[in-house]
């Protein structure tokens, strides 16, 4: 089974900007048409609520895997919302976005209790790590994930976008910490034609395709088109069929408790 590990939906089709269709219906239609069968849907608090994600997953339980999002700076309230989202809403992970939620490496100690709670709840934490915009040198997300992986070694941390242009730093963090996974969404098409496209192949092969997770970043990258392009590049990297299956779903499935291939 092919699982897209990084997609977004919104209650309003233009909720992530007028250029994109972020509606639930469009994502489900793309999944129905294949070849991707399931998708992780990610909110970003407070822009998209956990209740909206949970209701979407209840409507399409065989296609959608919902993650929660909380305000990581809200201390006790953030932890309580995560517990509600996992315990009552049955969401399968936690999504955090340093740039959009206004935190970074300097707030590391404030994040530790939340990450510890996610570990106790047995849900992975996906953290955006695509350096971008004026916060480029402030969030330092790759450094943040490295510190969190060291502080909470029983937490499964997914580094979204594999660090962007900091791909090799992300690779070395994952190499040093077996609880860190690399989500390769968005980085490949963004840096198409650059050395990073080749470097990503080096990283995937160096990790023997272990702890590498496929994602599209739909609707930023349309689900089917992103998969087609990524598969062509992965095949160019010379992955074996077993490695390809690992990247396209088998590495992710054990992390999202209760989801089987």
**Domains of the chain, residue spans:** 3-255
- How many Cα atoms within 13 Å fall on the side-chain side of residue 96? 31
Q: Tell me, which fold does domain 3-255 have in CATH?
A: TIM Barrel (3.20.20)
pLDDT score, position 258: 62
Confidence band (pLDDT; 50, 70, 90) for 256? very high
Closest by CA position to 133, among listed 100, 159, 168: 100
pLDDT tens digit string along 146-180?
A: 999 999 999 999 999 999 999 999 999 999 999 99
Least confident of 131-135, 154-158, 198-202, 213-217: 131-135
pLDDT score, position 75: 85
| Beta-sheet strand order (sheet of 212-213) | 94-96, 125-128, 157-160, 180-183, 212-213
- Find out whether 73 and 107 touch, Cβ atoms under 8 Å: yes
Least confident of 62-76, 97-111, 247-261: 247-261
Question: Please, which residues have CB within 8 angstroms of residue 163's CB and are 6 or more apart in sequence?
Answer: 129, 130, 131, 141, 142, 169, 170, 171, 173, 182, 187
Closest by CA position to 182, among listed 200, 196, 155, 195: 200
For the segment 76-87, the average pLDDT, to the nearest whole number, is 98
Q: List the structure tokens of 29.
A: 């239609």
First-last CA distance in the chain: 6
Q: How far apart are CA 4 and CA 247, in angstroms?
A: 10
Residue 71, pLDDT > 60, answer: yes
């Amino acid at each position: 089974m092919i699982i897209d590990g990084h997609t977004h939906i919104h209650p309003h089709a233009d909720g992530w900007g007028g250029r994109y269709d972020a509606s639930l219906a469009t994502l489900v239609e793309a999944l129905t048409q294949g070849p991707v069968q399931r998708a992780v849907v990610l909110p970003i608090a407070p822009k998209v609520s956990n209740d909206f994600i949970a209701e979407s997953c209840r409507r399409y339980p065989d296609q959608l895997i919902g993650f929660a999002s909380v305000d990581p700076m809200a201390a006790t309230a953030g932890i309580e919302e995560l517990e509600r989202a996992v315990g009552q809403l049955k969401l399968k992970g936690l999504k955090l976005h340093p740039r959009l939620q206004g935190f970074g490496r300097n707030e590391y100690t404030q994040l530790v209790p939340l990450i510890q709670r996610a570990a106790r709840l047995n849900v992975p934490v996906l953290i955006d790590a695509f350096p971008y915009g004026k916060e480029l040198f402030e969030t330092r997300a790759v450094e943040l994930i490295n510190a969190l992986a060291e502080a909470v070694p029983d937490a499964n941390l997914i580094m979204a976008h594999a660090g962007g242009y900091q791909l090799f730093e992300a690779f070395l963090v994952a190499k040093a910490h077996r609880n860190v996974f690399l989500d390769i969404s968005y980085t490949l098409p963004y840096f198409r034609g650059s050395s990073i496209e080749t470097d990503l192949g080096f990283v995937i092969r160096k990790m023997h395709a272990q702890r590498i997770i496929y994602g599209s970043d739909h609707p930023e990258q349309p689900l089917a088109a992103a998969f087609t392009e990524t598969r062509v590049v992965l095949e160019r990297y010379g992955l074996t069929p077993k490695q390809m299956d690992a990247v396209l779903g088998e590495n992710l499935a054990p992390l999202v408790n209760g989801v089987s291939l």
